[in-house]
Amino acid sequence: MGKGPFSFRRSTSRRRHRKIIGPPDSPPAPTSSTALVSATSPADNVMVSGGSGGAIAMTKVKKKASGARLWMRFDRSGRSELVELDKNAIIRHAAIPTRDLRILGPVFSHSSNILAREKAMVVNLEFIKAIVTAEDVLLLDPLRQEVLPFVEQLRHQLPHKTQPQLRGPAGEQESEMQVSTGRQRLPVPESAEGLQSELPFEFQVLEIALEVVCTSLDSSVADLERGAYPVLDDLARNVSTKNLEHVRSLKSNLTRLLARVQKVRDEIEHLLDDNEDMAQLYLTRKWLQNQQLDAHVLPTTSNNLSISRRFGSTRSGSLVNSNMGDDNDVEDLEMLLEAYFMQLDGTRNKILSVREYIDDTEDYVNIQLDNHRNELIQLQLTLTIASFAIAVETLIAGCFGMNIPCSLYNTHGVFWPFVWSTCAGCLLIFLLIMAYARWKKLLGS
């Protein structure tokens, strides 16, 4: 019995045995500096750890996690590490909603946002996209060329920053009280009157980000000014298609640069107008308050832990209330934002001055073109007057060219005197009309 048309014979000799590849070796157990990496799935494919000196060592894993992106983590001491994290790991670490990760995505790459969340601050300024907490900062795409200056600034400045110290009468006693977080130990204040000797960690990162962004925008404006004035001067001297194309390209670049500066400036102005938003950016203050609350609530009772966390003792409640009273103190952040707001305002004024110079050059070019147009109109009027005067002589010649009997045909020696007198009459008509046009100011003097 033969085989059907759709039957196939499988031969064991033609089978191909698949080569089984075992799973890659598991990476070493994370230390305290790589604790964030352990929060990700085992499918992370890159982990780079670097010390405070900036040295980076890379370990590649073959399997890549779906949706993972490259981040660089900086802690308070300036230690850095490159990690690939997915959305879930970021959300668990920083306690931010998913929409904040969309803001850091490519769709909103040209927007500017500084958002305050419960435990983190989302920074999206030009090319700097970071998530800042009270303990560390996660920087997206740190290997991009424009982001490298920000990375270098973090490496050089963060190690030189000391831990927040307290000033005041109770500063010496409060400096001895610390709360362990599992990674590092931070001071916990007991008095609302204690003042920090320097900016909190999140504001240090924000200051470096604003400094890098403002420096980049100033550099772009300086390049625009160096290229704008020669192009505009060439257009003023010679109105040509090539020069007009250069000015058109210059105006396009100026418009885009002005929009970039305006977005950052508007975001800072929005924060300055709302003290509540600025108070929410004090992540270290909120972190210390939570640690202080836990430090005073846990020893009270072990039986009603949930109730003690909710209500607390009288001392802890009054202590938290006193600390919450300092939430309205946003002077440090306000001074920081005002400084860079003024710098961005100066950058914006430079761009506006270039745009005013462009407008002045365009007005000058339009005046030149109007002048040339008036000269052409005057030339056309002069030619029209001359054509009218010549048309009179042509009319007389046409009349005498008709086959009508005339006594002048039989008179000898009258031809040239008649021609010259006719030409003189036409010239007289031309001069009279030109004088009338000048009297009416139809022609330039």
b/e string for 277-313 if b means 16 or more Cβ within 10 A?
A: bbbbbbbbbbbbbebbbebbbeebeeeeeeebeeebe
pLDDT of residue 219: 94
Q: Looking at 83, 117, 152, which one is the last position of a domain?
A: 152
Q: Is the pLDDT score of 362 beyond 70?
A: yes
Q: Is the pLDDT score of 28 beyond 80?
A: no
Please state which of the ranges 7-11, 110-114, 180-184 shows the lowest mean pLDDT: 180-184
Confidence of residue 14 (pLDDT cuts 50, 70, 90): very low
pLDDT of residue 224: 93
Look at residue 20 and tell me if it is in a domain: no
Look at residue 242 and tell me if it is in a domain: yes
pTM for the model: 0.65
Look at residue 356 and tell me if it is in a domain: yes
Mark whether 306 and 273 lie in a shared domain. Answer: yes
Look at residue 8 and tell me if it is in a domain: no
Confidence of residue 327 (pLDDT cuts 50, 70, 90): low
Mark whether 204 and 323 lie in a shared domain. Answer: yes
Rounded mean pLDDT of 42-54?
41
Confidence of residue 160 (pLDDT cuts 50, 70, 90): low
Mark whether 246 and 315 lie in a shared domain. Answer: yes
CATH number at residue 147: 2.40.128.330
pLDDT tens digits, 259-269: 999 999 999 99
Look at residue 355 and tell me if it is in a domain: yes
Q: Is the pLDDT score of 277 beyond 50?
A: yes
CATH number at residue 211: 1.20.58.340
Tell me how many domains the chain contains.
3
Mark whether 123 and 169 lie in a shared domain. Answer: no
Mean pLDDT computed over every residue of the chain: 74
pLDDT of residue 79: 87
pLDDT of residue 216: 93
Q: Is the pLDDT score of 60 beyond 50?
A: no
Mark whether 280 and 311 lie in a shared domain. Answer: yes
Which residues have a Cβ under 8 Å from the Cβ of 340 and sit 6 or more positions away?
A: 210, 211, 214, 268
Q: Looking at 367, 397, 424, which one is the last position of a domain?
A: 367
User: What is the Cα–Cα distance from 297 to 2, expressed in whole angstroms?
Assistant: 86
Look at residue 9 and tell me if it is in a domain: no
3-state secondary structure 12-34: HHHCCCCCCCCCCCCCCCCCHHH
pLDDT of residue 109: 66
Domain that holds residue 407: 374-439
Mark whether 187 and 325 lie in a shared domain. Answer: yes
Confidence of residue 209 (pLDDT cuts 50, 70, 90): very high
Mark whether 207 and 260 lie in a shared domain. Answer: yes
Look at residue 276 and tell me if it is in a domain: yes
Pairing type for strands 120-125 and 128-133 reads antiparallel
Q: Is the pLDDT score of 363 beyond 90?
A: yes
Mark whether 183 and 77 lie in a shared domain. Answer: no
Higher-confidence residue of 392 and 110: namely 392
Kindly state the tokens that stand for 128.
Answer: 């700097």
Q: Looking at 152, 185, 205, which one is the last position of a domain?
A: 152
Look at phi and psi of residue 424 and say left if phi exceeds 0, alpha if psi is from -120 to 50, else beta: alpha
User: What is the Cα–Cα distance from 127 to 123, expressed in whole angstroms?
Assistant: 10
User: What is the Cα–Cα distance from 299 to 237, expressed in whole angstroms?
Assistant: 83
Look at residue 383 and tell me if it is in a domain: yes
pLDDT of residue 348: 95
Mark whether 89 and 127 lie in a shared domain. Answer: yes
pLDDT tens digits, 410-438: 888 888 888 899 999 999 999 999 898 88
Q: Are 364 and 285 in contact (CB under 8 A)?
A: no
User: What is the Cα–Cα distance from 191 to 169, expressed in whole angstroms?
Assistant: 10
